[in-house]
Amino acid sequence: MGGTEKYRQEHPQKSISYSRVLSLSREIHPEAPAWPGDPPVEFQTVSKISTHGYFSRRFGMGEHSGTHLNAPNSFHASGDSVDQYPGESLVASAVVIDVTERVQANPDYALTVDDLTIWEARNGLVSAGSVVLLQTGWQDRWSSAEQYLGAGADGRLHFPGFGPEAVRSLLDDRGAGGIGIDTPGVEPGIDSDFTVNRMALEQRRIVLENLWNLDQLPATGTTLVIGILLLRGGTGSPASVLAFLP
């Protein structure tokens, strides 16, 4: 058997069937909401068409600016950095769980195991390797950093997220490949210990924050393609997340 044929048998060709491609990433600009203490987004012109014959800028931002992927080393000292994610791990099926109605009554809402059970009764089991996206409706607050971060008089942040029991069930019982959300963080803002991030990044899982357009995705059938910057030793990276809808 030739080497090429053997490779083909060991690595069967994969394909993505889709009817529409949708971006789930936010534009990056200086006025976009940023996590408290993160570096601001800055752009600086370095060349002009009138002077140099071409237009170019330099930019600066934090590794967790805008829509981004968190890497294990952002919460675990011995964890992998963002440049250690293999390309194949950045293409994954996705499921969407909608908790918008629950969030309207409780901005600190956390996804529960009961929520998963109800969702699976309607849509089937969460398949191994899937990235579970939590639609909260929080994207509508993006134009106001104060409202998006949910800064309260108590000095804490208030926005919804995944509950730790639900995430443990997704990772251990269902073998989910990761999680993502349309808020500043995958755990509720009141959780200053970053419990869910720590759990999901104990291994090299996908953790996406500041997504949008989740309301335009079906509950199942979407494929994600996650583009990142291979920042050497990076704790995360701004991400261009494309959704291929069935």
194-232 confidence digits (pLDDT tens): 999 999 999 899 999 999 999 999 999 999 999 999 999
Instruction: Provide the domain limits for residue 100.
Output: 3-28+62-245
Average pLDDT over residues 60-87: 97
Flag whether pLDDT at 138 surpasses 70: yes
Q: Does residue 9 fall inside a structural domain?
A: yes
**pLDDT given at position 2:** 58
Average pLDDT over residues 94-105: 97
Count of CB atoms within 10 A of residue 18's CB? 15
Average pLDDT over residues 55-76: 97
Q: Does residue 46 fall inside a structural domain?
A: no
Determine the Cα–Cα distance for residues 243 and 77; give it in Å rounded to an integer.
32
Q: Does residue 35 fall inside a structural domain?
A: no
Higher local confidence (pLDDT), 197 or 2: 197
Q: Does residue 50 fall inside a structural domain?
A: no
Give the 3-state DSSP-derived string for the chain, with helices as H, strands as E and coil as C: CCHHHHHHHHCCCCCCCCCEEEECCCCCCCCCCCCCCCCCCEEEEEECHHHHCCCEEEEECCCCCCCEEECHHHCCCCCCCHHHCCHHHHEEEEEEEECHHHHHHCCCCEECHHHHHHHHHHHCCCCCCCEEEEECCHHHHCCCHHHHHCECCCCCECCCEECHHHHHHHHHHCCCCEEEECCCCCCCCCCCCCHHHHHHCCCCCEEEECCCCHHHCCCCCEEEEEEECCCCCCCEEEEEEEEEEC
Q: Does residue 237 fall inside a structural domain?
A: yes
With bands split at pLDDT 50, 70 and 90, how would you rate the model's confidence at 192? very high
145-186 confidence digits (pLDDT tens): 999 999 888 989 999 999 999 999 999 999 999 999 999 999
Q: Does residue 108 fall inside a structural domain?
A: yes
Q: Does residue 39 fall inside a structural domain?
A: no
**pLDDT given at position 54:** 96
Across the chain, mean pLDDT equals: 95
CB 148 within 8 A of CB 138: yes
Residue 156 sits in a domain of what CATH number? Answer: 3.50.30.50
Q: Does residue 177 fall inside a structural domain?
A: yes
Query: How many structural domains are present in the chain?
Result: 1
pTM of the predicted model, to two decimals?
A: 0.94
